Amino acid sequence: MVTFQMWLVSTFASVKPIGRMMHTAWGWPIAESLHFIGLSLLIGTVGLFDLRLLGVARRIPIAAMHRLIPWGLVGFGINALTGVCFLLAEPDQYVYNPSFHFKALFIVAAGMNALTFYLTSYRRVTTDGAPDDAPLAAKVSAAVSLSLWIGVIVAGRLLTFYRPFPCQPPEPGFLATCIPGFR
């Protein structure tokens, strides 16, 4: 895994133009602002849809509420794009950051949870004449989704408190949470 992390860092670092753009006076602040706007869009749409599945505002048809989701994807897209910019500009600050490992894990888990929902419950809860109350499986997906996205926010906010430093001996084990001494 450490070898993979080192490969990731050197690959990301080789994309120079994004790094240069991010290190201009306004690059980082603008990307951060967009990242927080994307976060709000995602929570405001996906989060509210999750709450609807859990039983909030039952008089809104679930299918109607689902029409907000494309805007959650817009938010996610903004954040994926700005997130990649951060990653390419300061790769070792993320690839070796334990908080980033959790953030990435939570994002992947949230994606798999959403996929499960679409493969199992989606049609049942959005079909014409679907009952106001979502089945238990959909409620579980919604609760998992809410918890994971909140986890993503917290892990993202904690990144600065877990900044990796150059490794001291002994060298890292399976997953490096410090910057291995190379070159």
Partner 1 sequence: MNPVFRWIESSALSVWTRESTSLLAYPAILSAHAIGMGLVAGVSAAIALHLLGVAPEIPTVEMRRYAVVAWIGFALNAVSGMLLLIAYPTKALTNPLFYVKLSLVAVGLWLFIAVNKQLEKWTSVARLWLGISLLASWGGAIVAGRLLAYTYRRLMAG
- Nearest residue (CB) to partner 1, 50 versus 92: 50
Sign of CA dihedral 60, 66, 68, 69: positive
C-alpha closest to that of 149 among 65, 74, 76, 57: 76
Eight-state DSSP code of residue 135: P
d(CA 45, CA 130): 21
Rounded least distance, CB 44 to partner 1, Å: 3
**Interface residues toward partner 1, by CB under 8 A:** 28-29, 32-33, 36-37, 39-45, 47-48, 51, 56-57, 59-61, 63-65, 67-68, 71, 150, 153-154, 156-158, 161
d(CA 79, CA 126): 28
Eight-state DSSP code of residue 127: S
- Nearest residue (CB) to partner 1, 41 versus 89: 41
Rounded least distance, CB 69 to partner 1, Å: 9
- Nearest residue (CB) to partner 1, 32 versus 133: 32
Rounded least distance, CB 6 to partner 1, Å: 28
**Cβ within 8 Å of residue 31, ≥6 positions away:** 22, 82, 85, 86
- Nearest residue (CB) to partner 1, 24 versus 120: 24
Rounded least distance, CB 105 to partner 1, Å: 17
Longest dimension (CA), the chain: 64
- Nearest residue (CB) to partner 1, 59 versus 183: 59
Rounded least distance, CB 123 to partner 1, Å: 17
